[in-house]
Amino acid sequence: MAEKRGADVDEREAKRAHVGGGGEPLERDTASPPDLDQVVTAPSAPFAATSGAPACAPAARRASTRKVAIVVAYCGLGYAGLQRNPNVRAVEDDIIAAAVRAGRVPAELSSDMKALWWCRCARTDKGVHALANVLSFKCVLPHDECVDGVATTLNAHLPPTVRVLAARRATRGFDAHKLCDSREYDYLLPARALRSPLTGRVCGVADAAGVDGAHAPLSDAELAAVDRLLGGFEGTRNFHNYTHGHAPTAPQAVRYMMRLRAARAPSLDSEPFVALRFKGASFLVNQIRKMVAVTVARARGLVDDELFAATLSQARMPIAIAPAAGLLLRSCSFDHYDRTFGADPSKGGKLELSGEEEALRDAFCEAHVLPHVGSAENRTELDEWLGHLDKFDFRRPFSASETPGGAL
What string of DSSP letters covers 119-144?
Answer: EES---BTT-EEEEEEEEEEEEEETT
Q: How far apart are the C-alpha atoms of 369 and 362, rounded to whole Å?
A: 10
> What's the pLDDT tens digit per position in 201-226?
999 887 645 444 567 899 999 999 99
> Does the structure show a pLDDT above 90 at 33?
no
Q: Which of 129, 145, 169 is the last residue of a domain?
A: 169
Reported as a pLDDT band with limits 50, 70 and 90, residue 148 is confident
Is 230 found in the same domain as 158?
no
Is 27 found in the same domain as 164?
yes
Query: Average pLDDT, whole number, for the chain?
Result: 84
Number of structural domains (the chain) is 2
Q: Which of 169, 202, 218 is the last residue of a domain?
A: 169
Residue 14, amino acid: A
Q: Rg of the Cα trace of the chain?
A: 23
Is 90 found in the same domain as 208?
no
Is 238 found in the same domain as 119?
no
Domain presence at residue 369: no
Q: Which of 121, 148, 169 is the last residue of a domain?
A: 169
Is 284 found in the same domain as 214?
yes
Domain presence at residue 42: yes
Domain presence at residue 343: no
- Percentage of the chain exceeding pLDDT 90: 70
What is the pLDDT, as a whole number, of residue 296?
A: 98
Among the listed residues 125, 335, 338, 390, the single catalytic one is 125
Residue 163, classed as helix, strand or coil, is strand
Domain presence at residue 335: no
Q: Which helix (H) or strand (E) holds 71?
A: strand 63-74
- pTM for the full predicted model: 0.83
> Does the structure show a pLDDT above 50 at 97?
yes
Query: Which residues does the annotation place in the binding site?
Result: 185
> What's the pLDDT tens digit per position in 307-330?
999 999 999 999 999 999 999 999
269 is catalytic: no
Is 20 found in the same domain as 158?
yes
Query: Which residues does the annotation place in the binding site for substrate?
Result: 185
> What's the pLDDT tens digit per position in 316-370?
999 999 999 999 999 999 999 999 887 776 666 789 999 999 999 999 999 999 9
Is 212 found in the same domain as 112?
no
> Does the structure show a pLDDT above 80 at 3?
no
What string of DSSP letters covers 312-324?
Answer: TSSS--------S
Is 123 found in the same domain as 200?
no
> What's the pLDDT tens digit per position in 156-170?
999 999 999 999 999
Q: How far apart are the C-alpha atoms of 265 and 186, rounded to whole Å?
A: 10
Q: How far apart are the C-alpha atoms of 13 and 18, rounded to whole Å?
A: 10
Domain presence at residue 358: no
| 107 DSSP assignment | G
What is the pLDDT, as a whole number, of residue 147?
A: 87
CA angle (246 as vertex; 328, 234 as ends), nearest 5: 50
Is 250 found in the same domain as 144?
no
The distance between the two most distant Cα atoms of the chain, rounded to a whole number of Å, is 79
Is 115 found in the same domain as 20?
yes
Highest averaged pLDDT of the listed ranges 35-44, 180-189, 397-406? 180-189
**Short-list 56, 77, 136, CA closest to 327:** 77
Domain presence at residue 177: no
Q: The domain spanning residue 140 has which CATH number?
A: 3.30.70.580
Q: How far apart are the C-alpha atoms of 248 and 396, rounded to whole Å?
A: 18
Domain presence at residue 360: no
> What's the pLDDT tens digit per position in 263-281?
999 999 999 999 999 999 9
What is the pLDDT, as a whole number, of residue 213?
A: 58
What is the pLDDT, as a whole number, of residue 43?
A: 40
Domain presence at residue 340: no
**Residue 290 contacts residue 260 (beta carbons within 8 Å):** no
Domain that holds residue 116: 9-52+61-169
Q: Among 72-81, 352-361, 391-400, where is mean pLDDT lowest?
A: 391-400
Distance of CA 312 to the CA centre of its chain: 24
Is 247 found in the same domain as 102?
no
Is 285 found in the same domain as 218?
yes
Q: The domain spanning residue 302 has which CATH number?
A: 3.30.70.660
What is the pLDDT, as a whole number, of residue 145?
A: 76
> Does the structure show a pLDDT above 90 at 127?
yes
**Short-list 23, 22, 21, 273, CA closest to 122:** 21
